[in-house]
Amino acid sequence: MPLYFFRISHGRYAGASDQGSEFESREAAWTEMTKVCGNLLGSLSRSLKQNAEWQMELLDEAKKPVFRIRLVAESVS
C-alpha cells in the first residue's frame, strides 16, 4: 500500500510528520485527510488572525504534495 505523510503550515510554522500512514488508494488518503481537517478546523478558525493562512497537505512517499486544504482569513476592505 502507498505511504503518505501529513504536513501542516501555519504562519512561520511548517512541519511534516516523520511517520507515514498507509492507505489503499488516493481516495482513501483524501477521506482521512478531510476527517483530520474537520476535527481541527473548529479550534483553528477561532484563533485564526486576519490575513493569515493555515494549510494541510498530504504528501506522497517522495514527500511531494498530492492534496492540499487551505483556510485563508482575508480582509477585503
List the domain range (segments joined by +) for residue 63: 3-73
- Confidence (pLDDT) at 18: 80
pLDDT tens track for 17-60: 788 899 999 999 999 999 999 888 888 878 888 888 899 999 99
**Looking at the predicted structure, is the pLDDT value of residue 77 above 80?**
no
Per-residue pLDDT for 16 more than 80?
Answer: no
Number of domains, the chain: 1
Cα–Cα distance between 3 and 22 in angstroms, integer? 5
Query: What pLDDT score was predicted for residue 66?
Result: 94
